[in-house]
Amino acid sequence: MIERLFQQNVAWAKAKTAQDPEYFMRLSRLQAPKYLWIGCSDSRVPADAITGLQPGEIFVHRNVANLAHPADLNYLSVLQFAIDGLKVEHVIVCGHYGCGGVRAAVERSQHGLIDNWLQPIRDTAERNAAELEAIPEETERLKRLCELSVIRQVGRVCEATPVQDAWLRGQTLSVHGWVYGLEDGLLRSLNCSRSGIA
């Protein structure tokens, strides 16, 4: 089963080189992506495939339930390098409906270590309890929680030092919140984009 990945890799590299003999040489010298994607680890939400982007065009950070923890050195390092080093112009926080992380966050049962990771989602659920409790259907309620969590993470990204510093020095940078539908393959904007200090 694992051998198949090497076979597919060789076939892919051959096909790319046949189309464009300079492809890998050119890509190996430079990456100049305009976008940073902060998305869920879910295997059904591949950033480049669903946005139609090629290798080299989107810098990607993924974790369970697409969270922007203010003390997560991994996420902060990616964010800083994307903004200061690569000069990306757009940071996209993308959640998805049917997210297992969002569901697990608000289930009564315990899941171990991941419950700590998912704490910001419970926090978002508590902050928006009135709106969420007014939605009778559970699937719809969880969909709304997916959206609210993305909006909250956009706020956290905007508060992060690399973003604040970029805006203070006048660098072009927008932060967006999107949600992806597993059932229709479509992205939706949550209309919470920001392009400067509020």
Of 130, 120, 125, which is closest to residue 93 (Cα–Cα)? 120
Smallest gap, in angstroms, from Cβ of residue 187 to Co ion? 15
Catalytic residue list contains 72? no
99 sits near Co ion (criterion: CB under 5 A): yes
- 90: β partners: 35, 174
* Cα separation, 81 vs 39, whole angstroms: 17
Q: Which stretch binds Co ion (CB under 5 A): 30-38, 42-50, 110-118, 181-189?
A: 42-50
Cα(178)–Cα(192) distance, integer angstroms: 9
- Taking the complex as a whole, the smallest distance from the CB of residue 83 to Co ion amounts, in Å, to 25
Q: What is the DSSP string of 73-96?
A: HHHHHHHHIIIIIS--SEEEEEEE
Catalytic residue among 26, 44, 111, 127: 44
Please work out the total of residues on this chain that contact Co ion, with binding judged by CB under 5 A: 4
Inter-residue contact 83 to 166 (CB < 8 Å): yes
Contact with Co ion (CB under 5 A) among 36, 40, 105, 142: 40
Question: Is residue 188 within 8 Å of 179, Cβ to Cβ?
Answer: yes
Whether 94 is a known active-site residue: answer no
Candidates 9-17, 19-27, 74-82, 95-103; binding stretch for Co ion (CB under 5 A): 95-103
115 is a catalytic site residue = no
Q: Which of 36, 37, 39, 42 binds Co ion (CB under 5 A)?
A: 42
Catalytic, 192? Answer no
Asked whether position 118 contacts Co ion by CB under 5 A, the answer is no
The verdict on whether 96 is a catalytic residue reads yes
Residue 40 CB, shortest distance to Co ion, in Å, is 3
Q: Is the dihedral of CA 45, 50, 55, 56 positive or negative?
A: negative
Closest to Co ion by CB, 53 vs 64, is 64
Which candidate in 94, 99, 146, 158 is catalytic? 99
Distance of alpha carbon 100 from alpha carbon 107, whole angstroms: 10
Q: Considering only 34-42, 146-154, 162-170, 190-198, which stretch makes contact with Co ion by CB under 5 A?
A: 34-42
Integer Cα distance of 165 and 158 in angstroms: 10
Asked if residues 91 and 157 have their Cβ atoms less than 8 Å apart, the reply is: yes
- Known catalytic residues are 40, 42, 44, 96, 99
Interface residues toward Co ion, by CB under 5 A: 40, 42, 99, 101
